[in-house]
Amino acid sequence: MQQRHRTAIRTLGLAAAVAAAATAASAKDVVIHAGRLIDGVSKTEQSQVSILIHDDRITGVQAGFVTQAGATVIDLSDATVLPGLIDCHDHITASFHPGDPIRNAVTRTNYDDEIDGVNNLKAELMAGFTTIRDVGADTEVIVALKHGVAGGSIPGPRMWVSGSPLGPTGGHGDAANGLDPELSHPGWTDNLVDSPEAARRIVRTLRREGVDLIKIMPSGGVMSIGDDPKLQLMTDDEIKAVIDTAHSLGMKVAAHAHGEAAINHTIELGVDSIEHGSYADDASYKLFKAHGTYLVPTMLVGARVYEHAKTHPEDLNPSTAAKALAVAPMLQKNLHDAYQAGVKIAFGTDTFGMSNHGENAQEFAIMVRAGMPPAEAIWAATHNAADLIGSPDIGAVQAGRFADIVAVQGDPLQDVTTLEHVQFVMKGGVVYKSGGKPVD
């Protein structure tokens, strides 16, 4: 790790973050009285339930309001209680900065990203997201932030991180796209994959550096310059080398894929999830089901990028704006068709600044408008998200799992937008938000 990264993570003004983590309210034994419970084990709702917690784990769920000797009782009898929410497609160090994206790319530093990351982690935790899967950030930065959260020095969601995504020269993720060819920057080419041999080496290197999963870019993208989201830009051999190597090391693979060819070929080669999937068709949905592949539809980013391209095109590169107007509407159709076809869907927002960190729950309403019942959208952000990540410790209010619990006023099965206003947040048995306010 470069010295500036070591220094930055120590000098981000983390004193406040440390204090917040250290002083958050906690108790060894806790009983939560839940007026309604959506537990992530089933899609139905229970009434008047007690959740028993010891330290950071749930020890039991009982009907009725019970008490335990010496336990702290948290009264949520007028609220709906759910498992901590999970965002499977996040970019926690990325925030939107108006102006020329190329200028921003060559003037902003990893110090800036680290500061954004600390602030964004807290915002998402306060919004009820107790776990995130970050699928694109500077590897050293995101691994350091993950360690900070895991060690308790930074308040934030649990993190599964991919580090820097792998993609081909000239494709989505090539930082040199649109720049003067004579410009260079250390690290810009580190994760470019132009052969199976390079793919295997980079996957192994990322594993050594501390990532939990691998992200690949087999198709072009929307926010990148000069590539076509409909085209497959990585070869099948390169994709297969990434997937096989990652799986051999116990890591899952997420694939950014918009076009039909990239979606279908990547599923056939064994990828664990398709991110976006904009131009998927009936053949794609059959492949999703046959292989058990997850779709992470990222509806919120599509809606926000589309709105921005319509109202503030000056903030985007002209080619990016044109792609946003063409691709974003396809996400809505894709989710509708995928859900109707029985594809497994996991919740993910692609939050990188077009929507603000902490607004992740706005994804739910867009999913419902696309045809998913509220119970299914919640299932995507709890049970399915935990299954995609591969953790048996999250995603449900169930004995043995982490005490990651959130609560809202009202009933999200009737009005899913209530999830945009989380009133209570517990992660690992520690209360970070109560009565709609952060716990100091």
8-state DSSP, 71: P
- Say whether both 339 and 257 belong to one domain: yes
- In the prediction, which pLDDT does 18 show? 37
Query: What b/e string do you get for 313-334 counting C-beta neighbours within 10 Å, with b at 16 or more?
Result: eebbbebbbebbeebbebbbeb
Pairwise CA distance, residues 97 & 347, whole Å:
25
| Domain annotation covers residue 6 | no
Examine residue 215 and state whether it is found in any structural domain, yes or no. yes
Domain-embedded: residue 385 = yes
Residue 14 falls inside a structural domain: no
Tens digits of residue pLDDT in 144-168: 999 999 999 999 999 999 999 999 9
Same domain? For 96 and 76 the reply is no
Question: How wide is the angle at C-alpha 302 spanned by C-alphas 299 and 303, nearest 5°?
Answer: 90
Q: Do 415 and 318 fall into the same domain?
A: no
Helices 299-311 & 362-369 angle (0-180, nearest 10): 90
**DSSP alpha helix (H) spans, 293-439:** 299-311, 318-341, 362-369, 374-380, 383-389
Per DSSP, the residues of 240-280 read: HHHHHHHHHTT-EEEEEE-SHHHHHHHHHTT-SEEEE-TT-
- Inside any domain, residue 13: no
User: Which CATH number goes with the domain that contains 283?
Assistant: 3.20.20.140
Residue 205 and residue 263 share a domain: yes
- CA–CA gap between residue 314 and residue 401 (Å, rounded): 47
> Are residues 381 and 402 part of one domain?
no
* Residue 170 identity (one-letter amino acid): G
Residue count of the chain, please give it.
Answer: 440
* Structural domain for 424, as ranges: 21-84+395-438
Q: Measured in Å, how far apart are the chain's first and last C-alpha atoms? A: 33
Q: Are residues 184 and 243 in the same domain?
A: yes
Alpha-carbon distance 34 to 82, whole Å?
9
Give residue 80's pLDDT.
99
Strands 213-216 and 252-257: parallel
Q: Check whether residue 278 and residue 404 sit in a common domain.
A: no
Q: What is the distance between the alpha carbons of residues 260 and 374, in angstroms, rounded to a whole number?
A: 28
Which stretches of the chain drop beneath a pLDDT of 70? 1-27, 98-102, 105, 174, 176-189
CA distance linking residue 436 with residue 128, whole number of Å: 11
Do residue 300 and residue 406 come from a single domain?
no
* Three-state DSSP class for residue 357: coil
51, 257, 331, 388 from 343: Cα distances, Å: 32, 16, 14, 13
Give the per-residue pLDDT at 313: 84
Q: Which residue among 389, 405, 421 closes a domain?
A: 389
CATH of residue 403: 2.30.40.10
Number of compact structural domains in the chain = 2
SS3 46: strand
Using CB atoms within 10 Å of the CB of residue 397, give its burial: 0 to 12 exposed, 13 to 18 middle, 19+ buried. buried
Q: Does 4 fall in a domain?
A: no
Domain stop point among 372, 389, 406: 389
Q: Per the domain annotation, does 32 fall within a domain? A: yes
> Are both 356 and 366 inside the same structural domain?
yes
Q: Tokens 């034994």 identify what position?
A: 29
- Give the Cα separation of 353 and 368 in Å (integer): 22
Pair 170, 48 in one domain: no
Pair 160, 176 in one domain: yes
Residues 21-43: tens digit of each pLDDT: 444 444 599 999 999 999 999 99
11 within some domain? no
* Contact yes or no for 169/196 (Cβ under 8 A): no
Do 163 and 175 have their domain in common? yes
Q: What angle do CA 133, 277, 314 make, to 5 degrees?
A: 85
